[in-house]
A = this chain, B = another copy of it.
Amino acid sequence: MIRVLVWNEFYHEKTEEQVRSIYPDGIHAAIADFLGKEEDITVRCAHLGMESCGITKEVLDETDVLIWWGHMKHGDVPDEVANLVRDAVLDGMGAIFLHSAHHSKPFKALMGTSCNLTWRESGDSEILWVIDPAHPITRGIDRFFRLSGEETYGEPFVIPNPDKVLLIGNYSGGEVFRSGVLYERGNGKIFYFQPGHETFPTFYNESVQLIIKNAVRFVAPTYRATVTCPHVRTVNDESYVI
């Protein structure tokens, strides 16, 4: 069983009628709903309004894959929480950052860059192209899929050169964006996935759901341990000690 924790800022859904009409129980609930139907996945949710954002070391220790959605309230997440997430990823926990989570504290901490990008809300449609058809995360997607509406994200996207670019988006307004990128940091795998603006029903799209389900399975850890900074004796003593 892969233990997923879906974290949502859960702000727009309470303050904007348009968003509430799409995600009445929150974006996290919509994601938890389709993931929870998978036989090999169990889901819990957490959000900004909970104590410690619902994120403690104990919670993360029982989480195989963390999914993160945030937008306007990145600054309200305490640094300590962001650091707990970063450290859990370095130990091996998988992480999926969705859409505007590009600017979330834990994603930026793991990337080491500003994660800035160019953006526009103008009703563009988007075609997402599969760059790597053999990758487990894009399995089951044909050569491309469409979203009839999404916030436009544009390059340059200030991220480290990805280990793999799995998807590139083409917006009707003319932009392109590296919409699915994969990293390994420490023992953990990280997937950033661009779709998911709160004013569109993106998380009900079957292709988006398939990619997130695939990604959960791909970033789930098979190994988890803290790599420390040990003082060692020499290997040639035949008594190598950490």
The residues of A with any CB-CB pair to B shorter than 8 Å are: 86-87, 90, 92, 103, 109-114, 116-120, 122, 124, 127, 129-134, 136, 139, 143-144, 152, 154-158, 160-161, 163-165, 168-171, 173-176, 178, 183-188, 221-223, 225, 227-236, 240, 242
Q: Are A143 and B236 in contact (CB under 8 A)?
A: no
- The number of times this chain is found in the oligomer is 4
For residue A188, which residues in chain B have a CB less than 8 angstroms away from its CB? 134
Q: How far is the CA of A37 from the CA of B168 in the complex (A)?
A: 37
Contacts known (A130-B155, A175-B129); A229 close to B161, Cβ less than 8 A: no
A132 cross-chain contacts in B, Cβ below 8 A: 156
CA distance A184 to B163 in the complex (A): 11
Shortest CB–CB separation between residue A66 and chain B, in angstroms?
16
16 A-B residue pairs with CB within 8 Å: A90-B113, A90-B158, A112-B160, A119-B232, A120-B233, A122-B233, A129-B175, A130-B156, A131-B156, A133-B223, A134-B225, A160-B160, A160-B185, A161-B164, A168-B178, A173-B235
Q: Which of B112, B136, B223 contacts A109 (CB 8 A)?
A: B112
Taking the closest CB of chain B, its distance from the CB of A81, in whole angstroms, is 16
Known: A114-B227, A133-B225, A173-B236. 7 other contacts (CB 8 A): A113-B185, A118-B230, A130-B155, A134-B186, A158-B227, A160-B185, A170-B175
- Cβ-defined contact, B131 with A155, below 8 A: yes
- The answer to whether A228 and B116 touch across the interface, beta carbons within 8 angstroms, is yes
Name the 4 nearest CB pairs between A and B, nearest first: A134-B187, A174-B235, A173-B234, A112-B112
